[in-house]
A and B are shown apart, each in its own frame.
Chain A
Amino acid sequence: MNKGRILVVDDEPDIVQSLTLRLGAAGYQVMSAMDGLGATKAAIEQQPDLIILDIGMPAGNGHVVVERLRHIGATSHIPVIYLTARTGEDDYRRARDGGVAKYITKPFEAAVLLAAVEDQLERSQPSR
């Protein structure tokens, strides 16, 4: 079964691996990137249905990635969920301004993340 294609971006391999296992078990097809540049490339080339994005990363942090994706026609519509250890007011503000769908802080509850993913994919269904 394939409930949707999700791009997971985090510079911590352990986090990427755990998310791949978790989302895979929930029936999603998962691809991954480890930095900002990789995230942008993967988003353009593989056209995921949803991106789960870390903020603190090398080669373009999450905010930079979101800004780039919003300016590229092929990726501007892809919903983004932040999954980050950052809790600064500035990060919340930039997330809101960049149209990020959901802001989840680490450590997170798997059930919360899965619910957010499902919710986002349902919302963007009609436009796909």
Chain B
Amino acid sequence: MMTSGDTASPMLNLLIVDDREANLLSLSQLLARDDVRIFTALSGNEALGLLLEHDFALVLLDVQMPGMDGFEVATLMRGHERTRHVPLIFVTAISKDRQHIFSGYDSGAVDYLFKPLDPHVIRSKVAVFLELKRSQLARERLLDSLSRANAQLEEASLVKSDCLAAASHELRTPLTAMKEFCSLVYDEVVGPLNPEQKRCLETALRNCRRLGGIVEHLMDLDSLETGRLRVRRGSVDVGEIVRTAAAAYSARCRSAGQKLELSVPPCPQDAEALADPELVAGVLAQLLDNAHRFSPSGGTIRLRVRRLDARITVEVGDQGQGIEPAHRERIFLKYGQVDRRDGPGTQGLGLGLAVATRLLELQESRLDLVSTPGRGSIFGFSLAAYTESAHLRAFCGDGVRQSTRRWEPRCLVLVADRAGLALPEWLEPAAERAATGPDERWGAVPLYGRPALAALVRLEDPGAAGWVAGLAQQEPAPGAATSLIWTAVDVDEAGTPGLIAPAAEWFELVSQEAPQVEGVWR
């Protein structure tokens, strides 16, 4: 029944189906190869049995057979997941009419051969399919090894993060003792100092702080890369954040002889953006630090907040040496500080701008740079102006992005709607459609006991209002991961959500500590 032999390349299986023993024998001999194992079947039934047991590179199928003919076998093969994609060649002695050929192609044949068979033609055709199967197997092996390599890389990245965290922790303790003892002497807690000694300790302390800053930055950048940072966007008064950041830097700038100029819109609404306040403050601190370090004494640092259409823009301008076009890309990279030897700040690892860039990416923004060598640079970014629907969109988007990054859902939105409305695509990955049937099914929507964070309910749907009211009176099921938050949402035909009810309550609830969700349930 079969020929076999262990060779370096894997054996491929070939199936020949014909109701006449003599035909099977001659075809088997014709197609015999060292790297091919040939199976034969005398009937459609026998062929289907073999197809379920083995993986075939190709099937040569006789059309005219008693009982189940070749077309029926092909149709059954196409109906089964395991055999659907096995290539088929029909072999037939009669019926050369086109009708027959088309019916053969319709049932999934990839080719058609007529008896008497030309040995050359059939050998080369079969060889092509065997080659195809071989390259498919090779591709599968490659994919498999790639996904294994990928898993190893992810593992290595985790180890790297752990190492960084451990190193940061280990560095902090000796650094603390070092800095604190310098500071005790500097503050003359243990005895008076002369001015020269005081200057020396000042330098030691400055470097302790720098080292502390580096340890801090390493961890920031790592948590950004590994997606551990939680983004929580909401309404943010950018003007207020800029004022606070400027106040924190004013003393430092004054002692370096630098002027700090502030320009913020008088009306807070013109500075209200959709952003994560902590991340915006982080970006501003990096940009101010950068401007402060690279501005000369007597220079002016300009901070400007403006509303331009639907964006709130923030700019930090310095009067440093500016950045040559050739260096632009580099400064946004990790450790990629441009060498500016005679500038006032040649220190620093240059992590700051990389951190700022990442922080902005998380808020769907980016860092822009306008620079004139010799005159100074302006670093800027813009944030979406605040609207409720943009907020809802961002909330769901942030949740989804985090969940795909970390493979555990942080936010699940249940959409209960009767009409089966089209969901906007940004919502689709996070949504489970809870009910799409007639009114009665509202009662069967199993929300409690599910780790849902939110339900979007279209209140004008029949039965929906009653369902929500009933829900509000239910006790959460024991073991439910969280209580349920619901709101009324109106989604128009274009799929754009608009909140019917004032959404303040919704966002207040949502912005509380996000519940831990275990596993995906879909």
Contact = CB atoms under 8 A, between A and B. Distances in A.
A107 B184 contact: no
Identify the interface centre among A21, A87, A107: most chain B CB within 10 Å of its CB.
A107
Contacts of B175: 106-107
Interface string B166-183: 001100110111011101
B212 interface: yes
A85 B183 contact: no
Contacts of B212: 107
Contacts of B165: 88
Contacts of A86: 169
Contact of B180 (A22, A85, A87, A88): A22
A127 interface: no
A46 B181 CA distance: 27
Interface in A104-118: 105-108, 110
A15 to B, nearest CB: 6
Contact of B173 (A21, A88, A106): A106
B177 A14 contact: yes
B180 A15 contact: yes
A86 B208 CA distance: 18
Interface residues of B, number: 19
Contacts of B94: none
B181 A14 contact: yes
B402 to A, nearest CB: 14
A67 interface: no
A22 B208 contact: no
Contact of A18 (B169, B172, B184): B184
Nearest to B188: A25
B219 interface: yes
Contacts of B173: 12, 15, 85, 106
Interface in B131-181: 165, 168-169, 172-173, 175-177, 179-181
A22 B177 contact: no
B172 A110 contact: no
B444 interface: no
Given A12-B177, A87-B219, A110-B180, A22 B189 contact: yes
A18 B208 CA distance: 16
Contacts of B187: 25, 110
Interface string A1-40: 0000000000010110011011001000000000000000
A15 B183 contact: no
A88 B175 CA distance: 19
B504 interface: no
Contact of A107 (B172, B189, B190): B172
A82 to B, nearest CB: 13
Interface in B456-508: none
B251 to A, nearest CB: 13
Given A87-B219, A107-B208, A21 B184 contact: yes
Ordered nearest first, which 3 A-B pairs have the shortest CB separation?
Answer: A85-B172, A14-B177, A106-B176
Interface of A: 12, 14-15, 18-19, 21-22, 25, 56, 85-88, 105-108, 110
Given A18-B180, A85-B169, 8 more contacts: A15-B180, A21-B189, A22-B184, A25-B184, A25-B189, A86-B169, A107-B180, A108-B180
Interface of B: 165, 168-169, 172-173, 175-177, 179-181, 183-184, 187, 189-190, 208, 212, 219
24 contacts: A12-B173, A15-B180, A18-B177, A21-B184, A21-B190, A22-B184, A22-B189, A25-B184, A25-B187, A56-B169, A85-B169, A85-B172, A85-B173, A85-B176, A86-B169, A87-B168, A88-B165, A106-B173, A106-B176, A107-B180, A107-B208, A107-B212, A110-B180, A110-B184
